């Protein structure tokens, strides 16, 4: 009887470690950074991200010397860092749950491994053999989904693209910032007239670059792809692009002055994936209409050419 009692007691109190390993298609540094900063937890955890969309001011994060806390409604998190390992004490309206997240480098440099672990009594561990909820409870599936979904991580869906034509006509001009929109439209009209006069077929919508030279001037580049090789005239130049030249693109619909966000998103993507930028981004205005002001709604596909 004593032996049976001891066995039962052991089953109830002996702690056993339960682990789940997940490979994330993102670098070790990227994954580590997401776990290290409290502000990032509000982005990659789906429950906190949804809360931030409606009650961002109610999510309270506090940083101490050896840990940080996040509080929202019935949720309370305490996260302690130990090198590349993070101890998490989580409490919500249903229960308390303690677990550890450890980030490890993978054989593939662009990937990382995350190990979720929690300790529980042997008897609960035996029952947990039929329970595969650890990835969800520790939110490592959230982290994987966030880092592997560009629209979540960078704010936009970023996709590989190719140069959409090889022949184009282009105009370039530096103008006063206050006149950039009227001048850009004049340049587009001049290019359209040139194409009509020379029996040139316009193959794609107008493309443009608005590059701030200094606080008072903007460098404009306006152009579009055409169907044949021609000789440029005056301020209109004929240029050729490498056939199927590689690049990455983002589609954006919104106010013209908000488009800079997509450039930042692509550059962050390039930094994370060790991709080199070949030229400054150029925007194709998909409805063939250039903006008339900073607040004009535009529908563009922005592309940055790369070397591979």
For every residue of 116-166, DSSP letters joined together read: EEEEEEHHHHHHHTT---HHHHTTHHHHHHHHH-HHHHTSS-EEEEE-S-S
pLDDT for 133 equals: 72
User: Could you tell me the two tokens for 231?
Assistant: 């000789």
User: Could you tell me the two tokens for 211?
Assistant: 């590059």
Start-to-end C-alpha separation, the chain? 73
Give the CATH number of the domain where residue 281 resides.
3.20.80.10
Q: Same structural domain for residues 134 and 194?
A: no
Residue 17, phi-psi category: left (phi > 0), alpha (psi -120 to 50), beta (remainder): beta
Which one of 148, 168, 187 terminates a domain?
148
Q: What number is the average pLDDT over the span 245-273?
A: 91
- The residues near 204 (Cβ < 8 Å, ≥ 6 apart) are 164, 165, 224, 225, 284
Least reliable range by pLDDT among 89-98, 127-136, 203-212: 127-136
Q: Same structural domain for residues 126 and 45?
A: yes
Q: Same structural domain for residues 240 and 205?
A: yes
184-222 pLDDT, tens digit each: 999 999 999 999 999 999 999 999 999 988 778 999 999
Question: CA 221 to CA 185: how far, in whole Å?
Answer: 11
pLDDT for 95 equals: 79
Report whether pLDDT(264) > 80: yes
* Under 8 Å between Cβ of 166 and 57: no
Q: Are strands 167-176 and 237-240 parallel, antiparallel or unpaired?
A: antiparallel
Q: Which one, of 206, 173, 174, 209, lies nearest residue 191 by Cα?
A: 206
Mean pLDDT, all residues of the chain: 88
Please, which pLDDT band fits residue 114 given cuts at 50, 70 and 90? Answer: very high
Q: Same structural domain for residues 232 and 175?
A: yes
Which one of 98, 115, 148 terminates a domain?
148
Q: What angle do CA 53, 54, 56 make, to 5 degrees?
A: 75
> Is 67 a member of any domain?
yes
Q: Look up the domain containing 129 and give its range.
A: 15-148
> Is 141 a member of any domain?
yes
Give the CATH number of the domain where residue 32 resides.
3.30.530.20
- The residues near 158 (Cβ < 8 Å, ≥ 6 apart) are 150, 248, 249, 250, 265, 266, 269
Q: What angle do CA 108, 143, 252 make, to 5 degrees?
A: 95
pLDDT for 185 equals: 96
> Is 248 a member of any domain?
yes
Q: What is the tally of helices (H) and strands (E) in the chain?
A: 10, 15
Q: Which one, of 271, 102, 285, 121, lies nearest residue 188 by Cα?
A: 285
> Is 3 a member of any domain?
no
pLDDT for 152 equals: 92
Looking at the 3D structure of the chain, how many domains does it have? 2
Q: What is the percent of the chain with per-residue pLDDT over 90, rounded to a whole number?
A: 61
pLDDT for 127 equals: 52
Kindly calculate the radius of gyration of the chain based on its CA atoms and give it in whole angstroms.
Answer: 27
Tell me the pTM.
0.78
Question: CA 73 to CA 239: how far, in whole Å?
Answer: 59
């Amino acid at each position: 009887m004593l032996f049976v009692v001891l066995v039962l007691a052991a089953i109830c109190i002996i702690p056993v470690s339960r682990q789940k390993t997940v490979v994330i298609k993102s670098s070790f540094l990227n994954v580590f950074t997401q776990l290290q900063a409290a502000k990032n937890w509000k982005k990659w955890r789906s429950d906190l991200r949804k809360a931030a969309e409606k009650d961002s001011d109610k999510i309270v994060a506090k940083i101490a010397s050896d840990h940080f806390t996040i509080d929202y409604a019935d949720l309370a998190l305490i996260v302690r860092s130990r090198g590349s390992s993070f101890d998490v004490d989580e409490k919500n309206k249903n229960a308390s749950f303690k677990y550890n997240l450890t980030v490890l480098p993978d054989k593939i440099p662009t990937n990382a491994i995350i190990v979720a672990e929690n300790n529980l009594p042997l008897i609960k561990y035996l029952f947990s053999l039929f329970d595969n909820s650890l990835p969800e409870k520790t939110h490592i599936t959230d982290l994987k989904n966030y880092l592997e979904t560009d629209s979540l991580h960078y704010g936009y869906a970023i996709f590989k693209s190719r140069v959409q034509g090889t022949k184009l006509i282009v105009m370039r001009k530096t103008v006063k910032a206050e006149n950039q929109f009227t001048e850009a439209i004049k340049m587009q009209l001049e290019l359209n007239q040139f194409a009509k006069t020379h029996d040139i077929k316009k193959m794609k919508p107008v493309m443009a670059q608005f590059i701030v030279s200094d606080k008072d001037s903007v460098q404009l580049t306006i152009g579009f792809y055409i169907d044949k090789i021609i000789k440029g005239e005056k301020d209109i130049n004929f240029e050729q692009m490498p056939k199927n030249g590689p690049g990455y693109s983002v589609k954006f619909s919104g106010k013209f002055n908000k488009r800079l966000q997509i450039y930042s998103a692509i550059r962050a993507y390039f930094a994370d994936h060790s991709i080199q930028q070949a030229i400054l981004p150029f925007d194709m205005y998909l409805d063939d209409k250039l903006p008339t002001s900073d607040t004009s709604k535009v529908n563009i596909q922005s592309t940055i050419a790369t070397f591979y």
